[in-house]
Chain A
Amino acid sequence: MNDLEALVGRALRDPLEAARRHAAAGGRVVGYAGAEIPVEIILASGAFALRLPVRPELSTASADRYLESGFSPESRSLAAQYIDGAFAFLDAAVLPRSNDSLQRLYYYVWELQARGACAGPAPLIFDLAKLPRIASSLHTRRAAQRLAAELGAAPAALPAAIERRNRRRSLFSQANRLRADGYAFAGSTMERIFRAADCCEPDEFDAAFAAWLSAPRPPDPRVRLVLAGNSAPDDRLHRAVELAGGNVVAEYGEHAACAFGHERPAGDSLDAIADHYWAAPIGSRAIADRAEALLAVCHSARTDGVVIWLLEQEDAQIWDVPAQRAAVESAGLPILVLTRRSWLADDGALERIAEFTRDLGATR
């Protein structure tokens, strides 16, 4: 087993382990949720930036008492861990306003803490505005300044923090490019790596990832699929494709692989970071043509087909389904659309995906 595989395996078995170790050694740890938190600001505060993990294997009973059915399963998992004390060792936790479930969770955790029903740090909110309007951009700049003040991020530390995050951006981008170019990277392996990344000590992870990516790979002859929509709790959708003889070569939507968007921040100031997240085409609040964007991913990945998998709780991406389906079909690509699905994919979704993959293989 190489360094990266060992690191990823450890991180996925116990996603809090590295952060707890950092805290035990006297370091600060700041948790965050979603892909729209400016991790650069956390890093500039000198803290370990921990992407709060979803844990499908843990009970959510403690959260079910308070959260309504419309909450995303990811936020429900985070709520349960928060209430059950798993995040009590954190120095701070940052939630995004730009994700509906997570911004509601911010208010719920405050309320539960006021009632004495939830341990851990009082959550902070990154008040990201996404409208393409100067007022929203300035509001986001003020939000970044506030978050920096709340976390104690030093302006002088920001350039180095941005550089560290850009290093991660480059690695993700390189990995996604190699997958799209047809080299043999199993989608499930990539999914595990992408998920583990922000639970690991960053320098250690990036060094291991860079070394792993540099190893030569043969071309991959399998059926190529793009996976769009929601993110499953782990790599189970990717594995379903692989077991049927295919491979997920790109993702589109709220997947770990897509966490960074494409561009780097255009500077090393707090304003540049704020502007970057304000304009980034990620998250459900981004103003974007998601049919065109999905089609662009399909073209660059030279895909044989597309699977759109959406949860019962999803109420944003579902509105793009007709346009996305039409765009994909107009490009002559087969598409499987699965909506109102269970997060655990225990509703026949894996079988449907496998069948779709096998059909693609048979007609190739």
Chain B
Amino acid sequence: MSGRRDGQARKDLQCTADALAFQKRYAADLKRRVVERGEPFVVAQADTPHEIFHSMEIPLITNQWWSAYISAKQLSKPYFEKMRERGYPDNGCRYCSLGLACTLANDPATAPWGGLPKPTMLVARLTCDCIQYVFGQWAEALGTEFFALEAPAWRRKDPRWFESSNDRWEEVFESERIGLLVEEMHALIARLQEKTGRVFSESRLTVLMDRINEQERYIAEAAGIIGATRPCPVSILDQVPNTMIPQWHRGSDWAVAHARRFRDEVVARTKAGAAVSGNERIRLMWIGAGLWHDQGFYNALETDLGAVFVWSMYMPFAGPQYIRALHGKPLHALASRICSMNEVLHLPPWMNGWMVSEAQRCGIDAAVILVPPDSRLSQSGINITRLSLEESGVPTLLLDADMVDAQGWSRDVIVKHMAEFLRNAGLG
């Protein structure tokens, strides 16, 4: 195990350090490209078709990554204070709006990269009521345009969606919904070509999609091994970066190679009998976004209670939500990946159906659901999921905390709270 300061997040895998180093180099290179060289770039939500930007070689900043970056620099508090000073009520969705807050604060001395330069456009799916407001105003503040994508209703309610999503995606996600997003992607591509001069090629997208499938199969394989192995060989602090950093670069040479390397390291650790905790007694599930401002929290229960966070959504999501048989229709396959990305994570019956199945697969003893106070999207579906998990024998704790805003967070208090919850559930 790597040495660390007391309370700092511990990461065990060599490939984790390499992924983080790659991302740091990538961020520096991205900064060079968009800030210093003035290349066109896009700011987009995580649930948008990044593959379009990648295949057109347009640099991309993901809003969630940018928010986590700002948050990791402990800037969320001052930026939200600036929002309040500007007259914004402080019950706005923080996860979506930290980038806007950073731009409106207009403080190059503190902002990462001195603040974002003007992007080619901002892209987001309208998955909740606030998004068109936040992104519309952010685009205006940056002097650019906002390209919104609809988030249509989903009538086919199959709680076992994950069993057929790889291949029968047209049936699972509905051809009409997929068709709408394909039409929107055509409009997006046309606008990007017009604004950047870069050309979209469907054959290039097909190659990219095939490579993404390869990448996600490695991640899915690793997820399968981790869920089935006792004691858990890889902590979520290693799972998340090795899934998400390649995910931001999905289909690139580095991302495919890294996913394979991660899978190989997981296999090696499993064969060697490596364990996150030498005292694993309780297997935990973390539901919701990562706790980006205090990742050391995840390690805090391991020593005293033998409680190990075995599962978080990012890695197991790769298999059912990313792998797609192309069926000769790469844009449609891509649309099927994107058009329900939020719904399966935040709405019944998809969310609870998948979580219960995953808890069973991974031998989960108890679950923790992050409940950010001011993010309706992130709150959505948690009560029914909690009921479903508890009905399946998994005690579940709702944890009131924000993923990027450290205000009000105390690790010691929460660890005590967790310990009490586990004791009350007969697990402590």
Contact = CB atoms under 8 A, between A and B. Distances in A.
B126 A315 contact: no
Given A108-B384, A319-B92, A319-B130, A131 B148 contact: yes
B157 interface: yes
**Most-contacted residue by chain B among A68, A106, A133 (CB, 10 A):** A68
A340 B126 CA distance: 23
Contacts of A5: none
A300 to B, nearest CB: 25
Given A70-B376, A133-B184, A319-B92, A104 B152 contact: no
B184 A320 contact: no
Contacts of A125: 153, 155
Interface residues of B, number: 42
A107 B89 contact: no
A91 interface: no
Interface in B267-297: none
A310 B384 contact: no
Interface residues of A, number: 46
A101 B304 CA distance: 41
B384 A135 contact: no
B129 A316 contact: yes
A319 B150 contact: no
Contact of B92 (A107, A127, A318): A318
A127 B88 CA distance: 30
B129 A68 contact: no
A312 B91 contact: yes
A68 B130 contact: no
A131 B380 CA distance: 24
A319 B128 contact: no
A133 B191 CA distance: 13
B153 A322 contact: no
Interface in A279-294: 284-285, 287
B202 interface: no
B176 A142 contact: yes
Main secondary structure of the interface of B (DSSP, over half): loop
Given A111-B384, A133-B187, A322-B86, A315 B376 contact: yes
B382 A68 contact: yes
B183 A135 contact: yes
A82 B14 CA distance: 54
B150 A139 contact: yes
B137 interface: yes
A89 interface: no
Contacts of A284: 129
B129 A285 contact: yes
Contacts of A108: 348, 384
Contacts of B86: 322
B229 interface: no
Contact of B349 (A67, A110, A131, A340): A110
Contacts of A114: 157, 349
Contact of B91 (A99, A142, A285, A339): A339
Given A70-B379, A125-B155, A139-B152, A315 B91 contact: yes
B289 to A, nearest CB: 15
B360 to A, nearest CB: 19
A114 B148 CA distance: 33
A129 interface: yes
A65 interface: yes
A131 B348 contact: no
28 contacts: A66-B387, A68-B371, A69-B373, A70-B379, A100-B128, A101-B376, A103-B153, A110-B348, A111-B157, A114-B349, A127-B152, A129-B152, A131-B148, A133-B187, A135-B150, A139-B176, A139-B180, A284-B129, A312-B91, A314-B91, A315-B374, A316-B129, A316-B133, A319-B133, A322-B87, A337-B87, A340-B89, A340-B91
Interface of B: 86-93, 126, 128-130, 132-134, 137, 148, 150, 152-153, 155, 157, 176, 180, 183-184, 187, 347-349, 352, 371, 373-376, 379-380, 382-384, 387
Interface of A: 65-71, 97, 99-101, 103-104, 106-108, 110-111, 114, 125, 127, 129, 131, 133, 135-136, 139, 142, 284-285, 287, 310, 312-316, 318-322, 325, 337, 339-340
Given A68-B383, A129-B150, A139-B150, 11 more contacts: A66-B384, A70-B376, A70-B379, A101-B376, A108-B348, A110-B157, A129-B180, A310-B89, A318-B89, A319-B130, A319-B137
